[in-house]
Amino acid sequence: MSEAYLVKPGGRLGGRMTVPGDKSISHRALLLGAIASGTSEVEGFLASEDCLATMAALRAMGVGIERGGNRVVVHGVGLHGLRPAPGPLDLGNSGTAIRLLAGVLAGQPFDSELVGDASLMRRPMARVAAPLNAMGARVDTHEGCPPLRIRGGQQLQGIDYTLPVASAQVKSAVLLAGLYAEGITTVRGSGASRDHTERMLMSMGVDLVVDEHGVIRLTPGAGPEAMDIRVPGDLSSAAFFLVGGCLAADDGLIIEGVGLNPTRLGVIGILEAMGADITVENRRMEGREPVGDLRVRRSSLKGIDIPPAVVPLAIDEFPALFVAAAAASGETRVTGAEELRHKESDRIAVMVAGLRALGGEVEERPDGAIIHGGARLAGGTIDSHGDHRVAMSFAMAALISDGPVAIHDTDNVATSFPGFAGLARAAGLDLEVTAP
Ligand code: S3P
Please tell me whether residues 174 and 246 are part of one structural domain: no
Alpha carbons 135 and 184: distance in angstroms, whole number: 11
Of ligand 1's listed atoms, the one at least distance from the Cα of 416 is 10
Alpha carbons 407 and 55: distance in angstroms, whole number: 30
In a domain, 284, yes or no: no
Please tell me whether residues 208 and 150 are part of one structural domain: yes
In a domain, 270, yes or no: yes
**pLDDT tens, residue order, the chain (436 aa):** 589 999 999 989 999 999 999 999 999 999 999 999 999 999 999 999 999 999 999 999 999 999 999 999 999 999 999 999 999 999 999 999 999 999 999 999 999 999 999 999 999 999 999 999 999 999 999 999 999 999 999 999 999 999 999 999 999 999 999 999 999 999 998 558 999 999 999 999 999 999 999 999 999 999 899 999 999 999 999 999 999 999 999 999 999 999 999 999 999 999 999 999 999 999 999 988 999 999 999 999 999 999 999 999 999 999 999 999 999 999 999 999 999 999 999 999 999 999 999 999 999 999 999 999 998 999 999 999 999 999 999 999 999 999 999 999 999 999 999 999 999 999 999 999 997 6
The number of residues in the chain equals 436
Please tell me whether residues 166 and 243 are part of one structural domain: no
- Per-residue confidence (pLDDT) for residue 288, from 0 to 100: 85
Measured from the CB, is residue 194 less than 6 Å from ligand 1? yes
Alpha carbons 306 and 370: distance in angstroms, whole number: 10
Please tell me whether residues 155 and 61 are part of one structural domain: yes
Of ligand 1's listed atoms, the one at least distance from the Cα of 312 is 16
Please tell me whether residues 137 and 160 are part of one structural domain: yes
Please tell me whether residues 162 and 239 are part of one structural domain: no
Please tell me whether residues 14 and 113 are part of one structural domain: no
Of ligand 1's listed atoms, the one at least distance from the Cα of 23 is 11
Q: State the catalytic residue, choosing from 234, 316, 387, 409.
A: 316
Residue nearest to atom 11 of ligand 1 (CA): 24
- Judge whether 383 counts as a catalytic residue: no
Rg (CA), the chain: 21
Measured from the CB, is residue 168 less than 6 Å from ligand 1? yes
- CATH number of the CATH domain containing 58: 3.65.10.10
Measured from the CB, is residue 388 less than 6 Å from ligand 1? no
Cα angle at 328 between 325 and 330, to 5 degrees? Answer: 100
- Give the contacts of 339 (CB within 8 A, at least 6 positions apart): 165, 166, 167, 311, 312, 315
Rounded to the nearest whole angstrom, what is the distance from the C-alpha of residue 144 to the centroid of ligand 1? 18
For a mutational test of ligand 1's pocket, the pick from 22, 46, 167, i.e. the residue with the most ligand atoms closer than 8 A to its C-beta, is: 167
Using an 8 Å Cβ cutoff, are 401 and 5 in contact? no
- Give the contacts of 400 (CB within 8 A, at least 6 positions apart): 247, 323, 326, 327, 376, 377
| Residue span of the structural domain in which 366 resides | 4-19+232-251+261-277+299-434
pTM for this entry? 0.97
In a domain, 285, yes or no: no
Please tell me whether residues 240 and 325 are part of one structural domain: yes
Please tell me whether residues 200 and 96 are part of one structural domain: yes
Condensed to tens digits (0 to 9), the pLDDT of residues 21-55 reads 999 999 999 999 999 999 999 999 999 999 999 99
DSSP code per residue over 141-208: EETTEEEEEEE-----B--EEE-SS--HHHHHHHHHHHTTSBS-EEEES-TTS--HHHHHHHHTT-EE
Measured from the CB, is residue 415 less than 6 Å from ligand 1? no
Total number of domains constituting the chain? 2
In a domain, 183, yes or no: yes
Of 411, 320, 418, 398, the residue nearest 358 (C-alpha) = 398
